Structure 1
Amino acid sequence: MCFMGMVHTFEMHGLKLALDVESGALHVLDGPGFLAVEKLAQGLAVDDVQKEAASEFGEETARQVMAEICELQEKGLLFSEPREVDLSSDGVVKALCLHLAHDCNLRCKYCFAGEGHYGGNRGLMPLETAKKAVDFLLEKSKGRKHVEIDFFGGEPLLNFQVLKDTVEYGKARAQEMGKVLKFTVTTNALRMPGEVLEYLNREGMSIVLSLDGREEVHDRMRVLPGGGKSWQRVLENCKAVVKGRGGDNYYLRGTYTRHNLDFSKDIDVMIEEGFDRISLEPAVLSPEAAEALQSEDVPVLEKEYEKLAQKLWQREEQGEKVFFFHFELDLHQGPCAKKRAQGCGAGAAYLAVTPEGSLYPCHQFAGDEDFCCGHVDSGVKDGLLTRFAAVDSANKEACRDCFARFFCGGGCHAAAWSMNQDMEKPYELGCTLHRKRVECGLYLQAKRMLASIG
């Protein structure tokens, strides 16, 4: 019997777990099973593994464990072999990030967009450009029925009238073409008068709200143009938005830096303030920046993620489930290996549109003319997008031996370029943290499985 498929074993909070990478099957193991699977995954010979298991747990237990492992392998649930996957793109654009504003009413210190203007002039997108972007998406999505637009910035609500007019136009055009156009808005929630709140909730628009957790953490990084604080006003507006939509169809998104390595306390505050759909991202900054995470921070951050996973499970046991975006894994993605292996679609299925109508592979490349890939008037320059399609998967050489590759699809192109000037080489610190988040998500899945069977 040959055990060649990739299996990842790890322990967390008393559970011994094994992930079969190719199938996505998750196994909760006892001591003998964990020893055998771990040793086989390390490449030890079957006879040697059985001898070691027999020495520690007895011959009968060792034989039984090896028989169970063989049975799971035959079922394709353990040490399953990799499959060849066609990763070619169909050329369909599924989503646009519409930069309604290259301006902002905050001056966040970690902002990748250069305080909202992306290294260029501050400005707002004209309605005519937004309409052309809608038409571009509906045309380039070809036969796909469901498409998406994310209103982004800067701060998109600085251009609220154009947002409303674009939604009205987009819905009408989509209906004419037999398509469904979904809208999302990402906002810092600093200025949300009643008209804005009522409109966003009435339209059922998905919303991403920005809050960094504790007041002192938020106000250190997310400051007003004159240096003033923003936390109290933002918190009140976030609460009003969520209440107005019945606590649904939103995410509260924060960012952590080296100044708050104890970030689970920020999530505690978010939960205590009444939010249960949360995302907290590590800032991706030049290593020279005072706020930038460093490699020596990794052990602290990994322990913090494990602490967070345990806290979230304790809440879930009490009937208070909190959706933490990075721990919500899909272990049942079905037989579509292509879907599991592909990345976010930046530069292929997903594009960003600047206020003047220029196209970029994603919002984080906006403003870098080397990555401008066309215009809503003239269409797409195929050469650059071919370059992105070639790296938009977990099949990159750097990813092939990573157990978490099917949960990220090859990592963030913008982070890879920012850190390494090479999209084939993922951002190493980001990968390390992502692997730990995947382990935490698997731990929570295992706890749910165990709870469901009593």
Structure 2
Amino acid sequence: MVHRYKNNGYNIVLDVNSGAVHVVDDIVYDVIPYLEQDGETPASIRDSLAGKYPEEEIKAAMDECQELKENGLLFTEDRYRPAIEDFKKRPTVVKALCLHIAHDCNLACQYCFAEEGEYHGRRALMSFEVGKKALDFLIANSGSRRNLEVDFFGGEPLMNWQVVKDLVRYGREQEKIHNKNFRFTLTTNGVLLNDEVMEFCNREMGNVVLSLDGRKEVHDKMRPFRNGKGSYDLIVPKFQKFSDSRNQQKYYVRGTFTHYNLDFSEDVLHYADLGFKQVSMEPVVAQPEDDYAIREEDIPKICEEYDKLAKEMIKREKEGRGFNFFHFMIDLSGGPCVYKRLSGCGSGTEYLAVTPWGDFYPCHQFVGNEKFLLGNVDTGIVHTEIQDEFKCCNVYAKEKCQKCFARFYCSGGCAANSYNFHGSINDAYDIGCELERKRVECAIMIKAALADEEKGE
């Protein structure tokens, strides 16, 4: 399978199964679709393109494509599909937990899937004892895996800060006993961020996600306090100080764009102008009846914004003002990750969410849906049939993924979005798929443009 597209003056060809990327001239770009078709011969291809290119150039282009094919860089077969049946039988090894340290929040974000931290239930804070049992479960079910991850999530985790610190301390004690290495992370809205929190995070947290929706008017509209007052002016100086204290590494300023700010590239560039170097901006996922939901008719505008952002990022990189945008960060050197294409996102198997009272769910977006309750910290995983279902959730199980060129970069997308829109974890959220394809195209184009710049130096 091959995907061809034009972006910012580049003719780009992606060989889907190998992950090889080629920037080609017009004639190779035009020859490739003929080579993919059954029944085409060199003579028929020359005849089809005779009015556009000289015969010797057509032949040279076909020879070039044949050489790439022989080297495993074009028209490659998917060698990993046959392995999927054996992969489904793999033992379940848990490597990461999302600890819902607080089902409570001090903001009232309009689009919050967690219902201001309540998750379809009651406000609650996780106790140290529940968190301790969760860490013990992770260690006991991690097999021979040494590196483990724990994300402190909410609601707003800083509303239960002492328990966060106590659990980190406990985790560090257990590392030595069990020969494990914990990587702790934290997601915060910044309202309670202070010097003590920053100092602790800089010492103990491998990554910190800082929630900010971009420009002041955008952020304050969607992320106000419960009294309606905006939170931008309070948190931005804190985030700037925090990101500088981490040397502009190991953090993300993460936002959500909605139907209200389809010009979201301006919000991303606002991040950069504030001095942030690690940024992310996610499309909101909401039901069609929500007034802020992304609609199908919004897709062309959103794609234009990704193109606009990609071009500006190239410009700023050349000027020495570059920054990283999460969705454009693709490693093209090794091809698509084999394990990821087979395992999907890992929710329900390698990755679990834990509620304040110790219940296990496949991920944070399933919390509160009793159909997906797996067990708890006292009983362990009881409903193994749910884990088995998630173990089979991957690009090969999803019909919509079969002809999608981006499938090995998203690994089939979000199971929760699939379920919420189609009632099955093995479907796909269609708007999300369209945007993922565009992001992959932009990410590859950026790599091509910067590589082109290096050649010219």
Q: TM-score, normalised by structure 1?
A: 0.96
User: CA 1:42 to 1:219, structure 2 compared with 1: closer, same or farther past 3 Å?
Assistant: farther
> Does the Cα contact within 8 Å between 1:341 and 1:405 map onto a contact in 2?
no
CA distance in 2, matches of 1:23, 1:76: 7
- Provide, for residues 164-195 of structure 1, a one-character-per-residue CA deviation record: whole Å limited to 9, x for no partner: 00000011112211111100001111111221
Q: Is the 8 A contact 1:309 1:440 kept in 2?
A: yes
- Kindly provide the CA deviation profile for residues 308-327 of structure 1, in whole angstroms up to 9, marking residues without a partner as x: 11111111111222111001
Partner of 2:18: 23
Correspondence list, 1:144-183, <5 A:
144-183=145-184
Question: Match of 1:275?
Answer: 276
Query: Is the partner of 1:391 in helix, strand or coil?
Result: coil
SS at match of 1:185: strand
State the distance in 2 between where 1:43 and 1:255 align: 44
| 1:49, distance to aligned residue in structure 2 (A) | 2.7
After TM superposition, give the deviation of residue 41 of structure 1 in Å.
Answer: 4.1
1:191 aligns with 2:192: yes
Indicate if the aligned counterparts of 2:183 and 2:205 stay in contact, CA closer than 8 A.
Answer: no
How do 1:116-135 residues align onto structure 2 when only pairs under 5 Å count? 116-135=117-136
C-alpha separation in 2, matches of 1:419 and 1:335:
27
More deviation, 239-248/158-167: 239-248
| Change in 2 beyond 3 A, CA 1:44/1:434 | farther
Q: Counterpart of 1:55 in 2: which secondary structure? A: coil
Shift of 1:53: 3.0
Contact 2:310-2:442 within 8 A present in 1 as well: yes
Matched with 1:12 is 7
Residues 392-403 of structure 1 aligned to structure 2 (within 5 Å) = 392-403=394-405
User: What is the one-letter code of the residue matched to 1:432?
Assistant: E
TM-score with structure 2 length normalisation? Answer: 0.95
**Residues 1:336 and 1:259: Cα distance change in structure 2 (over 3 Å):** closer
Gaps (5+ residues) in structure 1? 1-5
Distance change (3 Å), C-alpha of 1:69 and 1:196: same
The answer (yes or no) to whether the contact 1:394–1:406 under 8 Å persists in 2 is no
> Secondary structure, in 3 states, of the residue corresponding to 1:351?
strand
Q: Deviations over 1:239-273 (max 9, x none)?
A: 12112112111011000000000000001110000
User: In structure 2, how many angstroms separate the alpha carbons of the residues matched to 1:203 and 1:378?
Assistant: 30
Q: Distance in 1 between matches of 2:98 and 2:431?
A: 26
Work out which of the residue numbers 83, 86, 99 in structure 2 matches 1:85. 83
| 1:349-428 mapped onto 2 (5 Å cutoff) | 349-380=350-381, 381-428=383-430
1:59 paired residue number: 55
Contact 1:16 1:28 survives alignment (8 Å): yes
Cα displacement (A) at 1:449: 2.4
**Count of residues in correspondence between the two structures:** 449
Give the unaligned 5+ runs of structure 2: none
CA contact (8 A) 1:102 1:154 kept: yes
Aligned to 2:68: 72
Q: Which residue of 1 aligns with 2:203?
A: 202
SS in 1 for 2:115: coil
Per-residue CA deviation, residues 370-401 of structure 1 (Å, 9 max, x unaligned), is: 11101011111211111111113454222111
**Kept in 2: contact 1:50–1:66 (CA 8 A):** no
SS of the equivalent of 2:51 reads helix
- Distance apart, 1:330 and its partner CA: 1.7
Per the alignment, residue 300 of structure 2 pairs with: 299
Whether the aligned pair in 2 keeps the contact of 1:85 and 1:338 (CA below 8 Å) is no
The alignment-based identity, stated in percent, is 45
Secondary structure at the counterpart of residue 167 of structure 1: helix
Partner residue of 1:439? 441
One-letter amino acid of the structure 1 residue matched with residue 320 of structure 2: G
Cα separation, 1, equivalents of 2:377 and 2:35: 54
Question: Do 2:19 and 2:335's aligned partners in 1 also have CA atoms closer than 8 Å?
Answer: no
- Asked if the contact 1:327/1:437 (under 8 Å) is kept, the reply is yes
Does residue 34 (structure 1) correspond to residue 29 (structure 2)? The answer is: yes
SS at match of 2:271: helix
Partner of 1:45: 40
Structure 1 residues 39 and 334, CA, compared in 2 at 3 Å: closer, same or farther? closer
**Per-residue deviation at 1:452?**
2.9
Alpha-carbon spacing, 1:41–1:220, altered in 2? closer, same or farther (3 Å): farther
* Superposed displacement of residue 199, structure 1: 1.3
Distance 1:154 1:312 in 2: 32
Q: CA deviation at 1:55?
A: 2.7
Q: Secondary structure of 1:388's partner?
A: helix
The match for 1:3 is none
Deviations 1:429-448 (A, max 9, x none): 11000000000011011112
Offset at 1:119?
Answer: 1.1
